[in-house]
Every structure is written in structure tokens, then in C-alpha cells.
């Protein structure tokens, strides 16, 4: 349940919904604050690690009030009377220019709390295959494996964006041939493509790929329209012909194509 603001009927609505967890999102100094009693806290929840991950994802907020620790917030949360819910406040800074990054971070935190509650409720737990990056990455890592990475890569002047129709292509490297298209054709492999882009642009890791970037041009297509949600065995690339024709029209210099998928390639 998403509630954009705290209205007068919120108490009744939440009581009917009976949530296991409540996230209170606020501007202010980047941090988390727990409002519920310790018995409601998931056994695997680690506030210190959560705060550390938040700071990595969003950065420290300069001259930002700690609004979550104000007594009026605690009183309003307490008034909800959710005796069994885990109530966590998340401050996401005061910078209004990072909305996409903040949205990705909040989504990741929500997913992490969900997983911690699930793991707490059973004695044995095995990872369920998932296409959602939040199931596998922390908030600071999420920035690098979703479309939220693009703004940072553009700021670093590491990629050149080319748009054709509904498709977006991101070029990096020398600008010289050979040109290689790297396309994620399944939802499950989008995170892989974004992570590759972030890794190739990261000053701490791009040195490992300097030869590739200096001697060729990579054209990333991290998402495709109507992407596939399930994996397949691909015995032909015919279903992707129109997709690659569009890519060639956008970047005529293409020499090679690498398809990122989770099924078998024959």
C-alpha cells in the first residue's frame, strides 16, 4: 500500500490493511530510525549496515535537518497503533535533483525488509529466482544496476546516448570500430547490462577494461520494449531481427551483437 501523505483516515486504513511493516519516508539527513518495539524488528535487520548502504547510495546531506527524530513524527507513528508492525523511518536527504535515484533506493529498502520478514517467518529459506534487482542488491548497489545509473554515467561523460523510436542505446569506448552491440533481451538480464556499464565507467574498475574501451566501441541496449519475463532456449535470432535492424539503423557502424539472456543459446 502506497500512501503519499499522512491523512486523518490513515489509522483506519492501515488497521484494515494490517501491514507487517511500515516505511515512513521523509526528507532530512540520510539515515534510518526505528519506531517500533524491538520485538517487531526482523531478526536479520541491521540498522548500521542499512545506514551505511543508504549513505553510499545517496551521499551525506549537507545542512539537512534530522526530521525523523522530531517528536511530532514519533507521536504520529505511535498514534497509528500498529502493535505488531515493524515501523522504519527512512530519511532520503534534501536534494530535489535525485528523485530517480531516491525512488530506486526506497524500492530496494522495501524489498530488503520484505525479504527479511520472509526469512524470519520460516526456519529454512532458499532464494526464489527473481528478475527484481532489489532481491539481490543493496541500495547503493541498486544505483548501478538499474536505469538510475544513466544519470551518473552521463555526468561522468562516460556514455553517449542515441535514441531511435522507443529504443535507447548507450555508446562508450574509443568511437572506433569494431562496434559491438550488447543487448539485454530479458528482464532478468537488464541488471547485468547496467552493471557492466557502471563497472566499465567506474574509475576504480575501468582500468581492467582499458584495452577493450581503447580499441573498440561498445553499444549497450540495457532494455528493450516488451521485454521477456521468462527465460527460453533460443534456437534462432529471428524474433530479434526487427530489434537489431532498428539498432543498425541507429548505429550503422555495428559489427557484432552480444545477446544477454538466461536461456540456452544455440
Predicted pLDDT at 167: 93
Is pLDDT of 50 > 80?
A: yes
Calculate the average pLDDT of the chain: 80
Q: Residue 41's pLDDT is what? A: 83
pLDDT at 191 over 60: yes
Can you tell me the mean pLDDT for 101-106?
A: 84
Query: Does residue 136 have a pLDDT over 50?
Result: no
Distance CA 175, CA 211 (A): 13
Q: Is there a contact between 22 and 30 (Cβ–Cβ < 8 Å)? A: no
Nearest to 113 by CA among 138, 91, 131, 130: 138
Residue appearing with cell numbers 524489498: 111
Assign 5 a pLDDT band (cuts: 50, 70, 90): low
Read off the C-alpha cell for 227: 521485454
Opening angle at CA 222, ends 220 and 226, nearest 5: 130
Average confidence (pLDDT) over 36-49: 81
- Specify whether the CB–CB gap between 186 and 227 falls below 8 A: yes
Q: Cell for 198? A: 557502471
Give the model's pLDDT for residue 182: 97
Q: pLDDT > 70: what percent of the chain?
A: 79
Which of 145, 19, 153, 2 lies closest to 83 in space, CA to CA? 19
Residue found under cell 521468462: 230
Q: Are strands 160-164 and 167-173 parallel, antiparallel or unpaired?
A: antiparallel
Q: In what order do the strands lie in the sheet containing 28-34? A: 21-26, 86-93, 28-34
What's the pLDDT at 161?
94
Rg (CA), the chain: 22
- 53 vs 113: CA distance, rounded Å: 14
pLDDT for res 134: 46
What residues contact 158, with CB distance under 8 A and at least 6 apart? Answer: 172, 200, 201
Give the span between the Cα atoms of 229 and 184, in whole angstroms: 12
In sequence order, the 6+-apart residues with CB closer than 8 A to the CB of 100 are 147, 148, 151
Question: Does residue 126 surpass a pLDDT of 60?
Answer: no
The yes-or-no verdict on residue 29 having pLDDT over 70 is yes
Q: Which H/E stretch holds residue 11?
A: helix 10-17
Nearest to 45 by CA among 96, 91, 90: 90
Report the predicted TM-score, pTM, of the whole model to 2 decimal places. 0.50
Neighbour-count burial of 175, counting CB atoms closer than 10 A to its CB (0-12 exposed, 13-18 middle, 19+ buried): exposed
* pLDDT of res. 256: 96
Amino acid at each position: 500500500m502506497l500512501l503519499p501523505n499522512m491523512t486523518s483516515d490513515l489509522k483506519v486504513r492501515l488497521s484494515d490493511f494490517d501491514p507487517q511493516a511500515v516505511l515512513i519516508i521523509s526528507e532530512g539527513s540520510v539515515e534510518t530510525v526505528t519506531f517500533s518495539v524491538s520485538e517487531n524488528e526482523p531478526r536479520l535487520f541491521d540498522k548500521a549496515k542499512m545506514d551505511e548502504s543508504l549513505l553510499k547510495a545517496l551521499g551525506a546531506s549537507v545542512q539537512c535537518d534530522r526530521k525523523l527524530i522530531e517528536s511530532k513524527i514519533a507521536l504520529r507513528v505511535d498514534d497509528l497503533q500498529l502493535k505488531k508492525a515493524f515501523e522504519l523511518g527512512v530519511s532520503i536527504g534534501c536534494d530535489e535533483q535525485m528523485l530517480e535515484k531516491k525512488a530506486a533506493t526506497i524500492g530496494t529498502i522495501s524489498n530488503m525488509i520484505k525479504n527479511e520478514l520472509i526469512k524470519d517467518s520460516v526456519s529454512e529459506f532458499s532464494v526464489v529466482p527473481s528478475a527484481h534487482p532489489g532481491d539481490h542488491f543493496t541500495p547503493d548497489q541498486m544505483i548501478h544496476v538499474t536505469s538510475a545509473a544513466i544519470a551518473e554515467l552521463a555526468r561522468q561523460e562516460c556514455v553517449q546516448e542515441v535514441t531511435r523510436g522507443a529504443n535507447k542505446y548507450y555508446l562508450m569506448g574509443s568511437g572506433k570500430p569494431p562496434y559491438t552491440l550488447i543487448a539485454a533481451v530479458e528482464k532478468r538480464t537488464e541488471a547485468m547490462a547496467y552493471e557492466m556499464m557502471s563497472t566499465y565507467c567506474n574509475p576504480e574498475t575501468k582500468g581492467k577494461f582499458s584495452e577493450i574501451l581503447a580499441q573498440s566501441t561498445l553499444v549497450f541496449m540495457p532494455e528493450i520494449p516488451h521485454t521477456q519475463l521468462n527465460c527460453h532456449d533460443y534456437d534462432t535470432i529471428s524474433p530479434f531481427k526487427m530489434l537489431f535492424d532498428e539498432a543498425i539503423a541507429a548505429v550503422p557502424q555495428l559489427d557484432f551483437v552480444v545477446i544477454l539472456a538466461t536461456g540456452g543459446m544455440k
